[in-house]
């Protein structure tokens, strides 16, 4: 695609087709054209204008539409487009919803790219079939002068890449009657299967294996099973438990669904347990016993693993979870959802942080606040359909708004005000609150089945909830002298990525756990 700067920038305004929003009397114009031949029919959706500071070295290999960038948030703007016809154009100007402010206020050199998100089947805008995007343009902008640029939506996203199968990597797919009935259209279960080295050996024709169910973190998919398959193909070398590794897919249009039965994502947990796992065990040589099913995950996948292990204990026999999303809503990152009034400010009036990273001297530095993160999500999807983290939590935990058919937000995205009525519904997903309410059930599970690890300096402040959960377990432990298999491990000086500390220990523990059960 060839992109050129408009010279007679103001003359184009009267010729625009599908124009959304008023044109500012002065300021910058970003004209986006849908060329004929790219698609045959008009398109509607969210048109996003993404910037990357050309002097930001950490993003030099990223495309602007790869946003959002937690460590270095970048400017963006967005408008809704209705029936943009082939051959037509639309303008994004200084009046568009934007972060950190109007595009007219930008100064410097930026790499810029446009994406039109018209798909409602995939969370990721980069995987949504039919989504359109432009090439990248590098521009100089100044708040002291008016500029005009033209972008062409010349590229079409075909949909998520489906990897090729081989002897050790398989893709399992099954239409879900439960989820399809909920959604009103076909919804499939999908998983990536990494088979062990001896699976195809004729000598093992009658052998059955335990299963390791892996829930990927936010944005992760079943395709991660390819990495496990490469390791499986080489053999475990005695270091890894000898299991069939099943990487589940936690993606839904509204975000990571967490395998929670919710009003917005449908009966994700029940459908997994009642439909998909029996199917997998009928297709692969899996041992159909709860003790033979390990569930594990990291970050959002860790929270999902904990939820499955505690709410389907008859299905999953053991859990290893690292750096989980908030497990005690008294510390939802840095906010107490039950007593605080705002997600954006602490009681002392300080901005509430959301992401930190080690500085040059190793001291954590705040890179993003909740206000910034939520503002970026709001530009991506003002109605709560950004598919990003806060929108995903709303979809998992909130009731559905009957007026919109979308999740009710837990907090106001403009003011940050927490809605206590919505929080009262969220409470049913608070693992620590459930532990207190039913210690006989959940206490035994945490003591005997769950191994939970988190860095003391977690990048997303998730250590706060883990600390509170650990305190509750210590306070309520039914047999203080007893040392069960479960534990909560806060790793000194570790951030969100704790793999260096946990991997070898957990592989050994999983091997020992399976050996104790005769596998």
Residue 3 in this model has a pLDDT that exceeds 90: no
Instruction: Give the Cα separation of 189 and 326 in Å (integer).
Output: 26
Q: Is the peptide bond before 68 cis (omega within 30 degrees of 0)?
A: yes
Predicted pLDDT at 477: 72
pLDDT-based confidence at residue 478 (cuts at 50, 70, 90): low
Mean pLDDT computed over 230-246: 86
Which of 1-5, 22-26, 29-33, 65-69 shows the lowest mean pLDDT across its residues? Answer: 1-5
Distance CA(106)–CA(30), nearest Å, equals 13
The pLDDT of residue 10 is above 60: no
pLDDT tops 50 at residue 17 = no
3-class DSSP assignment, residue 57: helix
Q: Give the helix ranges, DSSP H, for 316-462.
A: 370-380, 389-397, 420-426, 431-437, 439-448
Q: With left for phi above 0 and alpha for psi between -120 and 50, is residue 419 left, alpha or beta?
A: beta
Question: Tell me, what's the pLDDT at 473?
Answer: 94
The pLDDT value given to residue 24: 43
pLDDT band at 235 (very low <50, low <70, confident <90, very high): confident
Average pLDDT over every residue of 57-74: 95
Confidence class for position 236, pLDDT limits 50, 70, 90: low
Give per-residue pLDDT as tens, 416-442: 999 999 999 999 999 999 999 999 999
Asked if domains 9-156 and 169-328+430-516 share a fold, the reply is no
Cβ neighbourhood burial of 365 (10 Å; 0-12, 13-18, 19+)? middle
Round the average pLDDT of the chain to a whole number and report it.
93
List the chain domain ranges.
Answer: 9-156, 169-328+430-516, 331-429
Identify the residue with better confidence: 21 or 185: 185
Q: Would you call 360 exposed, middle or buried from its count of C-beta atoms within 10 A (0-12, 13-18, 19+)?
A: exposed
The whole-angstrom distance between residue 125's C-alpha and the CA centroid of its chain comes to: 12
pLDDT tens per residue across span 440-460: 999 999 999 999 999 999 999
Class of domain 169-328+430-516: alpha beta
What is the reported pLDDT for 6?
A: 27
Q: Can you tell me the distance from the alpha carbon of 165 to that of 171, in angstroms, rounded to the nearest whole number?
A: 7
User: What average pLDDT does this structure show over 89-101?
Assistant: 98
User: What pLDDT was estimated at residue 11?
Assistant: 27
Mean pLDDT of 60-75: 96
Helix H or strand E encompassing 51: strand 43-53
Q: How large is the average pLDDT for residues 44-68?
A: 97
**Can you state the angle between helices 439-448 and 463-476, rounded to 10 degrees?**
110
Confidence at residue 439, expressed as pLDDT on a 0 to 100 scale:
94
Give the percent of the chain with pLDDT over 90. Answer: 89
In tens, the pLDDT along 372-421 reads 999 999 999 999 999 999 999 999 999 999 999 999 999 999 999 999 99
Domain 9-156, CATH number (from 3.30.1370, 2.60.40, 2.170.120, 3.10.110): 2.60.40
């Amino acid at each position: 695609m060839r992109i050129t700067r408009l010279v007679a920038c103001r003359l184009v305004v009267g010729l625009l087709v599908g124009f959304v929003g008023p044109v500012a009397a002065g300021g910058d114009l970003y004209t986006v054209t849908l060329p004929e031949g790219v698609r045959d029919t008009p398109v509607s959706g969210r048109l996003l204008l993404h910037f990357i500071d050309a002097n930001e070295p950490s993003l030099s290999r990223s495309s602007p539409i790869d946003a959002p960038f937690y460590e270095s948030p970048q400017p963006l703007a967005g408008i809704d487009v209705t029936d943009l016809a082939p051959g037509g154009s639309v303008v994004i100007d200084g009046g568009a919803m934007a972060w950190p402010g109007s595009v007219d206020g930008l100064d410097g050199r930026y790499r810029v790219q446009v994406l039109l998100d018209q798909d409602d089947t995939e969370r990721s805008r980069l995987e949504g079939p039919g989504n359109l995007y432009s090439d990248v343009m590098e521009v100089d902008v100044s708040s002291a002068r008016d500029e005009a640029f033209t972008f062409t939506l010349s590229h079409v996203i075909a949909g998520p890449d489906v990897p090729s199968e081989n002897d050790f990597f398989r893709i399992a797919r099954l239409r879900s009657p439960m989820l399809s009935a909920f959604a009103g259209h076909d919804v499939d279960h999908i998983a990536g299967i990494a088979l062990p080295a001896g699976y195809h050996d004729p000598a093992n024709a009658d052998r059955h294996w335990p299963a390791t169910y892996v829930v990927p973190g936010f944005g992760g998919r079943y395709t991660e099973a390819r990495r496990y398959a490469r390791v499986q193909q080489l053999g475990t070398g005695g270091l890894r438990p000898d299991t069939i590794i099943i990487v589940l897919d936690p993606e839904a249009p509204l975000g990571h669904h967490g395998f929670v039965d919710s009003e917005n994502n449908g009966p994700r947990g029940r459908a997994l347990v009642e439909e998909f796992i029996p199917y997998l065990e009928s297709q692969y040589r899996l041992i159909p016993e709860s003790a033979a099913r390990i569930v594990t995950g990291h970050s959002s996948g860790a929270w999902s693993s904990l939820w499955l292990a505690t709410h389907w204990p008859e299905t999953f026999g053991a859990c290893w979870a690292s750096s989980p999303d908030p497990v005690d809503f008294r510390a939802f990152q840095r906010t107490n959802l039950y007593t605080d009034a705002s997600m954006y400010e602490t009681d002392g009036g300080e901005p509430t942080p959301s992401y930190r990273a080690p500085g040059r001297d190793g001291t954590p530095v705040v890179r993003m606040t909740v206000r910034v993160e939520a503002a970026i999500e709001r530009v991506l999807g003002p109605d709560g359909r950004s598919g990003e983290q806060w929108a995903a939590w709303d979809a998992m935990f909130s009731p559905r708004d009957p007026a919109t058919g979308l999740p009710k937000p837990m907090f106001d995205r403009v003011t940050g005000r927490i809605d206590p009525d919505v929080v009262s519904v969220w409470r049913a997903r608070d693992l620590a609150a459930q532990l207190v309410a039913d210690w006989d059930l959940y206490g035994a599970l945490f003591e005997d089945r769950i191994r939970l690890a988190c860095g003391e300096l977690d990048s997303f402040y998730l250590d706060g909830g883990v600390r509170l959960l650990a305190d509750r377990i210590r306070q309520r432990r039914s047999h203080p002298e007893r040392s069960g298999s479960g534990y909560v491990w806060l790793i000194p000086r570790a951030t969100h990525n704790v793999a260096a500390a946990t991997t070898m220990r957990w592989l050994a523990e999983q091997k020992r756990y399976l050996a104790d059960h005769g596998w």
